[in-house]
Chains A and B, each alone.
Chain A
């Protein structure tokens, strides 16, 4: 497995005289091509670092792009293409992780935290509203208060 990875890495090395989508890859049917481009943006180039196969120069990314187009020409739906690629390469290939299992936490972390922050913020505002004016002012002795005023007003 290690050797396979090494070979893949070498193929994906930046020296390879290739680049993202080549003219000869483009499908004749613009509708299918557009779907292929859309799918490619969500699939990871396995030998690259954080690049989708649509932007990647690697040989392996090109193979995947061709594979996606092959499946689309064969009549697969978008979901079928994704399932096909995931079955072969694992969920690592998806740039948007599936919302299954523990990934639930990843997708809902933001909204949950917004909710939590909202509740804390709301209760804080409620307390501020109710607090008597000038509470905590005693923390400054008169001398300090004078100095503070002095600084603030200059």
Chain B
């Protein structure tokens, strides 16, 4: 068993070497490699030469395995306080996942295939992918996806050992937290990219590939919360193990969806059945194996904690039900076209209108009960007493929503409801944090707030981040304005109180593209707000046009301008959007990730560092 550690290290170093070799080939534009020819070009900026390494199927799978090995190695480096048998088993499970995916790369997607006659230059990377936002989207997403493999490995190792206890939950939580933080950043980057790059300001499309990353995110969020119950109260053990298995299972399903192209979507670059079947086999072996083990061992996991119907525990159970159900809704909506066609020969589509209608209610309920659930004490609580400090927050949120409803005149309930939920979550988190400081004068409690543990801050920040995102989504969807028209050069038009003037349109030569660039001056009440330069680019090597929207970012609104085709009468087609609260969507995501990081760096996870003893209220239940 002692061999596990050096093996994990060697494994990581060797894969890192092979990844470095591929990166070197891309950086030096080595066109004797087929992959480099297909996805790179000598004139491409350096950052996109590097991001081209994972902007394709083979390279991205190598990155996948690299990150898998990295997580295994971190368990070897930082897992000093793990019992040696558990640690060896975790590394063993992690290694076996790695073997399966290395076989997948070797047999179906070798990135190092050579060409006998190297061409003079490459065919360039898809221009949509030549973007800073998207360059870093896949690595973050993979860090999240693959990070969940650690939760899986810990779950399987615990099943093999036959026991799950509070200590186990404490060990598994940092890795799940890290994975969830990366996944949050990755999803937010992808959504932000779609917002500014695809040219109509959509931020989420319920595309199968997006759903593939969203399902593990939801389940990982559920796992984070249920692991708290295992850690503090020794309950929900078997459910937590199941969640850990399923969260990684959905990562594998996501990899399958993206890499097989079985459910064709905007992102599916790969369309090779051989690859799909291989991943499906990996999925069947690991999920089948883990679930069989689970079925065999689940009886051994007895719950210890006793708690009443109204308690923090039951609040977290509700959180888990809602998160799991919403993940399930996304899952069934994603695979339904496939199922309907195979079983009932019905060809149909499941898109945005379905998900908006079927998914949203669960998050509305979640947002509505979250602040109250977060305030409930462990074991036994009374609703009235827990709710008392929240009344002010509730009244504030309700009046904000009522104000918005009165001002917006004649629009639906979406905006006010989103505003209420967001304000309720943010103010509820603030009240919760303040409440943790105990008794005393206002000033001394404020001072004590700084010394609250990282986990408390993390919880408050992440929950208010969810609120900020909800406000952003609801505000953007409810209150946006749009204008489509033909604009003559020097002509101007109005949208949502702003006046836009098209000053000129010129041709600009970029490093590997040619651009048609408009110059638009934005003014409000006669004062200049911004000069925007929307572009239409043509990448000659890839033969593809892209639109580059110009956005004036603001705290409360974005002004978003897109230039289209020249018209017969000399004007240009222009599309302009007024997008209220758009930035809040990603600001909220960043807050959620930040909250996760605060929690991650809570001192009680650095058990080996000799951190000081924590207050008994949050400690282990009496034994």
Contacts and interface: CB of A to CB of B under 8 A. Distances in A.
Q: Do A and B bind each other?
A: yes
Interface of A: 14-15, 17-24, 26, 41-42, 44, 49-52, 55, 90-97, 101-103, 106-107, 109-110, 113-114, 117-118, 121, 124-126, 128-129, 131-137, 139-140, 145, 148-149, 151-154
B623 A101 contact: no
A90 B200 CA distance: 27
Interface in B130-175: 163, 165-167, 170
A117 B623 contact: no
B114 interface: no
A96 B607 contact: no
B317 interface: yes
Interface of B: 81, 163, 165-167, 170, 199-200, 202, 205-208, 234-235, 264-266, 268, 302-309, 313-314, 317-318, 321-322, 324-326, 328-329, 332-333, 336, 340, 343-344, 346-354, 357-359, 361-362, 484-486, 543-545, 547, 564-565, 567, 573, 575, 607-608, 610-611, 613, 619-620, 623
B552 to A, nearest CB: 21
Contact of B348 (A50, A103, A117, A133): A103
Contacts, number: 178
Nearest to B340: A102
B306 A93 contact: no
B266 A49 contact: yes
Contacts of B235: 128
B349 A110 contact: no
23 contacts: A23-B573, A49-B268, A94-B349, A96-B351, A97-B354, A102-B343, A102-B346, A106-B336, A106-B354, A110-B326, A110-B362, A114-B322, A117-B324, A117-B325, A125-B309, A125-B317, A128-B235, A128-B303, A134-B304, A137-B304, A148-B167, A152-B620, A154-B608
B304 A44 contact: no
B325 A96 contact: no
Given A92-B349, A95-B352, A114-B321, A101 B166 contact: no
A49 B264 contact: yes
B312 to A, nearest CB: 12
Contacts of B302: 135-136, 139
Contacts of B485: 23
B545 to A, nearest CB: 7
Contact of B620 (A23, A96, A149): A149
Contacts of A109: 328-329, 332
Nearest to B574: A23
A50 B308 contact: no
Contacts of B340: 97, 102-103
Contacts of A114: 321-322, 325, 362
A152 B167 contact: yes
B314 A125 contact: yes
Given A20-B200, A52-B352, 13 more contacts: A19-B565, A21-B484, A23-B567, A92-B348, A97-B350, A128-B235, A128-B305, A129-B307, A132-B306, A134-B304, A148-B165, A148-B166, A154-B611
B336 A107 contact: no
A1 to B, nearest CB: 13
Nearest to B567: A23
A145 B620 CA distance: 12
Given A19-B199, A91-B346, A109-B328, A152 B304 contact: no
A126 B484 CA distance: 58
Contacts of A52: 351-352
A110 B329 contact: yes
Given A136-B304, A152-B170, A97 B336 contact: yes
A23 B574 CA distance: 8
A49 B346 CA distance: 18
B191 to A, nearest CB: 15
Contacts of A121: 314, 317-318, 321
Contacts of B545: 14-15, 17
Given A97-B354, A139-B302, A44 B349 contact: yes
B265 A94 contact: no
Interface centre among B200, B349, B544, by most chain A C-beta atoms within 10 angstroms, is B349
A49 B350 CA distance: 11
A132 B304 CA distance: 9
B620 A106 contact: no
Given A14-B545, A149-B620, A128 B313 contact: yes
B303 A136 contact: yes
7 tightest CB-CB pairs across the interface, nearest first?
A95-B351, A136-B302, A96-B353, A117-B321, A110-B329, A96-B354, A92-B347
A151 B308 contact: no
Given A50-B351, A128-B307, A96 B357 contact: yes
Contacts of A90: 347
Contacts of B205: 50-51
B619 A14 contact: no
